[in-house]
Amino acid sequence: MAATTGGFAGKVLRVDLSTGKISTQDTREKYGDVLGGTGLGYQVLWEEVPPGTGPFDSANKLVFATGVLAGTGVPCNGRTAVTTIFPTCWPKPLVGSGHMGGNFAAKLKYAGYDALIVEGRADRPVWLFIRDARVELRDASHLWGSGIRRTNLEISQEMGADCSVAAIGQAGERLAPMAIVANSLSHSAGGVGGVMGSKNLKAVGVQGSGAVRIAGDKGEWEKLIKFHLSILGGNNQHVVPSFPTPQSEYYNPASRWVGEPGRRWGAAEPPVEITGNIFDLNRIAYRTNSAAFFLGEGAWKHTVRGNGCTACPIRCHTVIKVPSVAAKYGIHETAQNTCSGLNFGRAFFKALPGGFKGPTALEACMVGMHLADDLGLWCNYGQLQRDFLKLQREGLLKAKLGATEYASIAWDKFESGDPTFLFDILPRIGERRGELGQVLSQGTAGLFRHWSMQEDDWGRDHAARYWKMGHPKHHSSEDDGQCGVIINTQYNRDAQCHSHTNFVRNGLPLSVQKRLAAEIWGSPDAVDGAGDYTPMNLHKARRARWSLVRKELHDSLGLCNWMGPWVASPLKERGYRGDDSLESRFYSLATGRKLDREGLDRMGERIFTLHRALTMRDMGQLDMRAHHDLAPAWVFKDQNGAAPFTKGTIRMDRDDISRAMDLFYEVMGWDKATGAPTAEAYARLGLKEVGKAMHAQKLMPGDAA
């Protein structure tokens, strides 16, 4: 191992929009212990943003932070965490992060910066020009009012084609809590666009001519990258294909690894047929076709290619071309996105002609992407659409909106499943027009705040999939029993954690998953079959802890937690094992600072604990167990009346979940009664000063209220 340092670009860029002051800090010295990403964001908020600061107050800060491994050759390293006081959090804004892929992270590092901290508020619309050491605030009055696409185009023309532009649309300008910032057209961070708008910051354009230095031996580095590639599966690290192959003992029709020889990217020019061995490293990018997985088989003929983030061979943002939509709807014939972004348009309908994977659904998705990715509107992981459908289904919109406004909505198009309905409804929300736009643009919190709807009602509704604090569940008991529940209790927005779900959905037989679980978490009982849950045990608590720590680690290293961790693999010869130490080996080689798996996980735990402390401080709450770590009522009820722990139900048992929280707090070293980190936990993680501050505010277990 070389003694030199690498990984970090070296500087954090700080821009005060109120004064125009632009400065830099040494990353390693100031933020080295939190790696970057969310870790850096939490530290900035902890040190610089006082409790009680509102999301749109000029005192709030917006931290765009990459990580140590962003911009290197490590697969799936294109992530930027955007951390701030999160505006969709109910009933009180608290810390949260949006995450975007694309190529912004790499460009920022090549320009010499690990992070960008935006402070204050400009007195007029501006955009931030970053070209290596040259950093300028430029007038954005000509861009204000434009959508994300035009903004991207104009800034790209000004800077040059090799820049990356992260911009907001009209939703962000109008301070919609449900606004995104997006780079590379479709790579968005939800919920933070309005904060950017509140600062009069339309966009950040970045261009870098530098590189990220790797401290360790180049041969070892390349070897490790090759190894990492060899254990990759398809999207979300699904390690078996959706079809039987000669190369694999296993397959899973529900796998996101849908590409196989004989399939065609029908809209590529000329069309591309997948050939050869799909297990070959040079075929990884053919495995994933998000459009085909989410929108149906018919999407293959519309597929142009897979797009994605820096150094990611998965390419989960599928580019699709549907020429008919240009004439029919007057929109561009190509679009690209993944997951919720692809689903955006069709999810606004209760029914569509031809079903949800038919041609009309595809058109609705094209229209949805066209509008949402330009207006810069967020879906809150599908909650916007579920809320809309619930409000409509239960007659609540009719009851709450004035008759004139209600009648102005194109309900006939909604009822008939006409995608042009989206041209009516999405601009209302994105541009915050009328009462409907004002309320829905605030997310579910808007319904509680303005229409006095009861959070408990949402929490009882299985179909709404609402979890807490204004946000939905994100891979909870429906995927992973108690582990999913614990993870979903921990954040102030939806959990965005994939460490657990990428394992249980990896497609391997349960017996293989249990064998791997025994090796990684100490017991086969750390994992259950979906809907065949057993009572809580210590190993599940360890897996929940591991999942959360890895999530924060990935978010802080610049790696993609939508793709990782990589503890299972497609490799029969490895017994389908992945590698649990991959992140620490990359970190050690990149930085020249040798850390083993436990050492790096401790850093992840430090970051997660800092998030905990920040949340407690800003809530002014010691008893997190009673006031924060909550699960909605639907989790404890089966629609068919099935009892917990019977096969075929995701219903959890209240006492068992209580025990789950006990065990989770125990493995975290937190106080069982309150769920608050102890002085020992803070000290063990190098957060003694944070612990002291918490104690001073009577937020340490044992402190008298």
Partner 1 sequence: MSPEEQARLTEAATEVVLQASREGRLTSRKDVLEALVADGYFHQAAGHVDTDNARQTPTEEEAAIALAGILAGHPGLASFEGLSGETVYHAPDLLSRTFARILDRKGSPLLLMAEEIRANSRDYPRPVPVELFEAPPFALAPEEIGHVLHAMAADPGYQDISFTTAPTGAVYLFSTLHLERGYAAFLALRAESLSENP
Q: In the complex, which residues of this chain contact partner 1 (CB under 8 A)? A: 243-254, 260, 262, 293-295, 338-340, 343, 347, 355-357, 382, 475, 478-479, 505, 509-511, 529-532, 572-573, 647-649
Least distance from C-beta 227 to partner 1, angstroms? 19
Least distance from C-beta 46 to partner 1, angstroms? 32
- 33 vs 478, beta carbon nearer partner 1: 478
Residue 442 near residue 470, CB atoms below 8 Å: no
Do β-strands 201-207 and 164-167 pair in parallel, antiparallel, or remain unpaired?
A: antiparallel
Residue 235 near residue 314, CB atoms below 8 Å: yes
Q: Which two tokens stand for residue 10?
A: 């070296």
Cα separation, 645 vs 405, whole angstroms: 47
Sign of CA dihedral 66, 71, 73, 75: positive
Tell me how crowded residue 646 is: count the other CB atoms within 10 A of its CB.
12
Distance, CA of 599 to chain centre: 25
- 305 vs 346, beta carbon nearer partner 1: 346
- 19 vs 247, beta carbon nearer partner 1: 247
Least distance from C-beta 121 to partner 1, angstroms? 35
- 88 vs 496, beta carbon nearer partner 1: 496
Cα distances from 590 to residues 9, 213, 438, 675, 686, in angstroms, run: 11, 7, 47, 35, 22
Least distance from C-beta 483 to partner 1, angstroms? 16
- 219 vs 246, beta carbon nearer partner 1: 246
- 105 vs 339, beta carbon nearer partner 1: 339
Burial of 590 per CB tally in 10 Å (0-12, 13-18, 19+)? buried
Least distance from C-beta 107 to partner 1, angstroms? 27
- 248 vs 588, beta carbon nearer partner 1: 248
Least distance from C-beta 462 to partner 1, angstroms? 12
What type of residue sits at position 365?
C
- Name the region of 469 (left: φ>0; alpha: ψ -120 to 50; beta: rest): left
Do β-strands 264-265 and 201-207 pair in parallel, antiparallel, or remain unpaired?
A: unpaired
Angle at 35 between CA 29 and CA 39, to 5 degrees: 110
The packing angle between helices 538-557 and 477-489, to 10°, is: 70
Within 388-486, strands assigned E span: 466-468, 471-472
Nearest-CA neighbor of 166 among 316, 62, 27?
Answer: 62
- 254 vs 403, beta carbon nearer partner 1: 254
Least distance from C-beta 571 to partner 1, angstroms? 11
Q: Using CA atoms in the order 606, 607, 612, 613, what is the torsion angle rounded to 10 degrees?
A: 70
- 3 vs 643, beta carbon nearer partner 1: 643
Residue 3 near residue 68, CB atoms below 8 Å: no
Buried b (16+ CB within 10 A) or exposed e, 362-396: bbbbbbbbbbbbbbbbbbbbbbbbbbbbbbbeeeb
Cα separation, 159 vs 205, whole angstroms: 8
Q: At 654, which helix (H) or strand (E)?
A: helix 654-668
Q: Rounded to the nearest 5°, which phi and psi values hold at 609? A: -70, -35
Q: Which two tokens stand for residue 44?
A: 């900035």
- 174 vs 256, beta carbon nearer partner 1: 256
- 70 vs 347, beta carbon nearer partner 1: 347
- 513 vs 674, beta carbon nearer partner 1: 513
- 84 vs 502, beta carbon nearer partner 1: 502
Cα separation, 461 vs 633, whole angstroms: 8
Nearest-CA neighbor of 242 among 175, 293, 302?
Answer: 293
Distance, CA of 182 to chain centre: 13
